Chains A and B, each alone.
Chain A
Amino acid sequence: MLSRRLIPLILVVSSAFAQAASRLDLDSFEKVWTTIRDKHWQVKPGGLDWQAIHDEYRPRVEKAATHDEAVAVMQEMLGRLKQSHFAIIPEVVYSVLDDDGEGPGVIGSGTTGIDARVLDGHAVVTSVDPGSPAEKQGVRPGWEIERAGGKELKAVIEQAHSNPAVHELQLTRAVLARLSGPIGGTLDATFLNSSGSKVKVTLGLTPPRGVVSSFGNLPEQHVWFESKKIGSTAYVRFNLFLDLPHVMASFQQTIDNCKACDGLIIDLRGNPGGIGGMAMGMAGFLVDKPNQRLGTMYLRDSTLKFVVNPRADVFSGPVAVLVDGSSASTSEIFAGGLKDLGRARVFGTHTAAAALPSAFERLPNGDGFQYAVANYISEGGQPLEGLGVTPDVVVELTRTALLADHDPVIDTAVDWIRRQKKP
């Protein structure tokens, strides 16, 4: 007699990534359209007459003169949903990976080791990876990036700001994309340093920090995890909810080594998400009460509760979660859920509000297709899509603080932890 095969649900939640039209493009269009028709959590996807959408866009794909035109039409169709996590991932992303095993495009092309955010309309270095080309050239947090790769970043930022559809997540990505290029190449950049002087440097482009991690149809990505102590407070940061065995084990190790810590800071700034189930798994190290959940996922034919399984040994001290406009998806599920449960205090700035659980498939033309399969409501009753997580304590990074070697978001979280009673 057949019986169910008991495998936990694996839920992928990740934020979006960034040749002549052919039969393959038409087949791909049909697959994209049909997938949304059959798998979108709403019977009328996005409230649209989906058959009418087919009839509108199919002739345009048929007429497309190039593959790029066909993809642009498909992207436009996906844009009509006005929902995150619907995207066509160019085939080149996969083929580059196949060729050299390094990450492509925004995912994995060469980097300078700089992380940056737009602060008050200016691109500002927020961190520099140890040992990276930028560190070797003396680039410091707080420096303003004026030009990169021959482009004035201010123009990029102003252009983005003029488009209300572009949110902080996309803006940050646009800036970071200017700081990337082919591995082994170089990038000319101009900075304003702490004294306001222009510093022109040529930066090498090296593989991104971390280890290459693959997860099925997701493009390979570099994943890193760091932990340290700030006084008696444990601090962890990781760039993606991926590389599951390594990241979960590292998180557990942090908790195991933190019995005497006065608190725990989980820094999710810049973390765009990954495997949704990891949010539940990590929360299990922090929540001791049974039958708690981070939120609920609504599919067309079922409802899934994001339940937390308390571990045998749970960290019971105060927990601070740090977020910003580039914290998306699984980061929002984790931060929002712990906030709603009253288990963590959230510091930073408003999150990306892009939190739809999604899946990835390959299309007949070789491109990848990311599509959302569900809506998600955090435990407090609010959808994360479009609303995001509002921090309990809004703290903004400033160039002045970064130049003084301070991170005001971390500083505020540490102050709060030290004011709490010891566990």
Chain B
Amino acid sequence: MNRRVAFLVLMAAGAGFAADPLPSAASILDRYVQVTGGKQAYEKRKTEIAHGTVEFPSLGIKGSMTRYAAQPDKYYYTVDIAAIGKMETGVSGPVAWENSAILGPRVKSGVERAEAIREGNMNATVNWRKLYPKVENQGIETIDGEECYKVVMTPDEGQPVVGYYQKKSGLQVKLTTVASTQMGDIPVEIIASGYRDFGGILEPAKVTQKAGPQEFTMTLERVEVNPAIPPETFALPDEVRKLVDKAAAR
């Protein structure tokens, strides 16, 4: 399998030198898997706990974030900011949910749920074929002086996601999409930088996300690889469970 990826990488590089034709979107996405650690590295990772910080510069607030993930699709993510309290989001089986001191608990539905479940897939990077049935390389754009391939990935449900992959390094440096949220469809732009090796996989240490009026930066500090995560970490919080039960009783 790795040999196949390497072949695709060479094809992509060759295409780059020749200026045209463009490499296929699939080859770009597979190259990303390869340059960030390879399929085996991803598949060896069964669980992870990522620790970092989050900062909202325009508001002047900072906090901590922790992301728990387990194969294939368990996901729990928490941000703690003193002035706001805890904000949690998770995917527990078929239920995608969030809970915060400010807005309270809620269960996601429709496109928003589909997007959350897709984003909660621990091996989304490797499993892009399952998540995005249609991918297309739409050409080259320059980002921060670097030529990047613009790859449009279209899921079965939800808006297309546009990834920008550096021609030279193969790393993804930008993502844009329109997120479906309960408040409406919101344009999202994510800029990634400072790729570092976190336990055998390269990940961006700094991610800046603009979503509507809100901009924040997440700094990834360390990743625990294959830790034992108690199953209750991914269980529905009581407040969310009550909502699920209430909806079922309606």
Do A7 and B87 touch across chains, with their CB atoms under 8 A apart? yes
Chain B: number of interface residues, binned into ranges: 35 or more
Instruction: Report the minimal beta-carbon distance from B73 to chain A, rounded to whole angstroms.
Output: 13
Among residues of A, the one whose C-beta sits closest to the C-beta of B121 is: A3
Q: Which residue of A4, A306, A311, A361 contacts B183 across the interface (Cβ within 8 Å)?
A: A306
Among residues of A, the one whose C-beta sits closest to the C-beta of B178 is: A302
Instruction: Report the minimal beta-carbon distance from B4 to chain A, rounded to whole angstroms.
Output: 19
A329-378 contacts to B, CB under 8 A, are 357, 359-362, 373-374
Q: Mark A231-273, 1 if CB is under 8 A from B, else 0.
A: 0000000000000110011000000000000000000000000
Contacts of A312 in B (CB 8 A): 105, 239, 242-243, 245-246
A307 at interface, CB cutoff 8 A: yes
Contacts of B92 in A (CB 8 A): none
Contacts of A1 in B (CB 8 A): 29, 32, 124-125, 128, 163, 172
Contacts of B175 in A (CB 8 A): 2-3
Give the docked Cα–Cα distance between A302 and B218 (Å).
23
Give the docked Cα–Cα distance between A1 and B216 (Å).
19
With A284-B104, A304-B184 already in contact, the answer to whether A4 and B58 are too (CB < 8 A) is no
Instruction: Report the minimal beta-carbon distance from A225 to chain B, rounded to whole angstroms.
Output: 14
Which of B5-13, B17-25, B138-146, B207-215 touches A? Answer: B207-215
With A4-B179, A244-B84 already in contact, the answer to whether A299 and B188 are too (CB < 8 A) is no
- Chain A: residues with Cβ within 8 Å of the partner, total of 48
With A216-B60, A312-B239, A312-B246 already in contact, the answer to whether A4 and B188 are too (CB < 8 A) is yes
Do A10 and B84 touch across chains, with their CB atoms under 8 A apart? yes
B195-250 contacts to A, CB under 8 A, are 204, 207, 209, 211-214, 216, 218, 239, 242-243, 245-246
With A2-B190, A312-B239, A373-B213 already in contact, the answer to whether A281 and B60 are too (CB < 8 A) is no
Do A362 and B60 touch across chains, with their CB atoms under 8 A apart? yes
A8 at interface, CB cutoff 8 A: yes
Give the docked Cα–Cα distance between A235 and B32 (Å).
58
Among residues of A, the one whose C-beta sits closest to the C-beta of B57 is: A361
Most B Cβ at <10 Å: residue of A304, A357, A361? A304
Do A307 and B183 touch across chains, with their CB atoms under 8 A apart? yes
With A248-B85, A312-B243 already in contact, the answer to whether A12 and B59 are too (CB < 8 A) is yes
A275 at interface, CB cutoff 8 A: yes
B166 at interface, CB cutoff 8 A: no
A383 at interface, CB cutoff 8 A: no
Do A5 and B183 touch across chains, with their CB atoms under 8 A apart? no
Contacts of A218 in B (CB 8 A): 60
Instruction: Report the minimal beta-carbon distance from A70 to chain B, rounded to whole angstroms.
Output: 23
Instruction: Report the minimal beta-carbon distance from B222 to chain A, rounded to whole angstroms.
Output: 17
B157 at interface, CB cutoff 8 A: no
Give the docked Cα–Cα distance between A4 and B246 (Å).
29
Do A2 and B204 touch across chains, with their CB atoms under 8 A apart? yes
With A214-B83, A309-B103 already in contact, the answer to whether A2 and B207 are too (CB < 8 A) is yes
Contacts of B103 in A (CB 8 A): 8, 277, 280-281, 284, 309
A51 at interface, CB cutoff 8 A: no
Among residues of B, the one whose C-beta sits closest to the C-beta of A39 is: B213
Give the docked Cα–Cα distance between A239 and B2 (Å).
62
B127-164 contacts to A, CB under 8 A, are 128, 163
Do A217 and B59 touch across chains, with their CB atoms under 8 A apart? yes
Q: Which residue of A215, A285, A303 contacts B184 across the interface (Cβ within 8 Å)?
A: A303
Most B Cβ at <10 Å: residue of A244, A284, A361? A244
Give the docked Cα–Cα distance between A245 and B119 (Å).
28
Instruction: Report the minimal beta-carbon distance from B235 to chain A, rounded to whole angstroms.
Output: 16
Most A Cβ at <10 Å: residue of B29, B84, B89, B102? B102
Give the docked Cα–Cα distance between A214 and B101 (Å).
16
With A4-B179, A305-B184, A307-B182 already in contact, the answer to whether A245 and B60 are too (CB < 8 A) is no
Ranked nearest first, the 4 interchain pairs of A and B with the lowest CB-CB distance are A216-B60, A312-B242, A217-B60, A216-B61
Interface residues of B (CB under 8 A from A): 29, 32, 54, 56, 58-61, 65, 77, 79, 83-85, 87, 89, 98, 100-106, 115-116, 119, 124-125, 128, 163, 172, 175, 177, 179, 181-188, 190, 192, 204, 207, 209, 211-214, 216, 218, 239, 242-243, 245-246
A-B contact pairs, 26 of them (CB 8 A): A2-B175, A2-B207, A4-B211, A6-B98, A7-B89, A8-B100, A8-B103, A9-B183, A9-B214, A11-B213, A215-B59, A215-B61, A217-B60, A245-B101, A249-B101, A278-B102, A281-B100, A302-B184, A302-B186, A302-B212, A304-B183, A312-B239, A312-B245, A359-B58, A360-B58, A361-B60
Known contacts A280-B103, A301-B187; can you find 20 more A-B pairs with CB under 8 A?
A2-B163, A2-B172, A2-B190, A5-B77, A7-B89, A8-B98, A11-B213, A215-B59, A217-B58, A217-B60, A245-B85, A275-B102, A284-B103, A302-B184, A304-B212, A306-B183, A311-B105, A312-B243, A360-B60, A361-B58
